[in-house]
Amino acid sequence: MGRLLAVAMAITLFAGALAAQQDIDVQVPVGTSVLNGHTENDGKSANGDIISYTVRIANAGSSNLALTGSVVQGSGYKNVQVNLTNVPAAQSLAPAGFLDFDISVDPDKDSDWSFNVTITSDDPTDPSFVLKFKGTQGKPKKDEGCSTSDSSGTSILMLLALASAGVVATRLRRSHA
């Protein structure tokens, strides 16, 4: 009976510890929860377009969620200028509480662009929550040194034409001989 009571107490303590957990819920756009590592693909936009996002950090857990350090950090900028505004300072977010911040993206003309945003908290599962953003602005430049450029179809036709001319010339020589 003593063992059974000890097991029951351990289960109760463990269940209580699980119930009182922080749980970060990141939403892009607001109302759409995403997983850690999510890529937000903006697709294609016209040159000069400024792209805007609002990101929500919510606490879906049953205990306070501590937003720690530099709560929101950008990194890995490629062909883009990014402005993070209304970024929350380190603080405690109550259960069911949320904070929003904004991202303004100004991609370089005619480029594929990307960057990352990391949100840090004391969530036991996702202490560093990473969002990836990417898109294309205008018409990206092709790799001119690439052998698979748009002119490869023309090159193949030229090679076939030369080969055909060689076959015709060989037959003509044989027929005159």
pLDDT of residue 145: 47
| H/E stretch holding 75 | strand 65-78
At the fourth CATH level, which superfamily is domain 22-141? Answer: Immunoglobulins (2.60.40.10)
Judge contact between 106 and 84, C-beta under 8 A: no
DSSP state of 167: H
Q: What is each CA distance from 55 to 5, 19, 99, 169, in whole angstroms? A: 47, 26, 8, 69
pLDDT of residue 1: 60
pLDDT of residue 74: 96
pLDDT of the chain, 177 residues: tens digit per residue: 666 655 555 555 454 455 569 999 999 999 999 999 999 999 999 999 999 999 999 999 999 999 999 999 999 999 999 999 999 999 999 999 999 999 999 999 999 999 999 999 999 999 999 999 999 999 876 654 454 544 555 666 666 667 677 676 666 667 666
**Please, is 93 exposed, middle or buried when counting C-beta atoms within 10 Å of its C-beta (0-12, 13-18, 19+)?**
buried
pLDDT of residue 108: 96
Q: Which residue ranges make up each domain of the chain?
A: 22-141, 149-177
Beta bridge partners of 135: 113
Nearest Cα residue to 118 out of 64, 66, 76, 65: 76
pLDDT of residue 144: 46
How far is the C-alpha of 57 from the C-alpha of 89, rounded, in Å? 12
Judge contact between 22 and 121, C-beta under 8 A: yes
How far is the C-alpha of 125 from the C-alpha of 123, rounded, in Å? 6
**pTM of this prediction?**
0.70
Beta bridge partners of 67: 91, 121
pLDDT of residue 166: 67
| Neighbouring C-beta atoms of residue 91, cutoff 10 Å | 13
How far is the C-alpha of 107 from the C-alpha of 114, rounded, in Å? 9
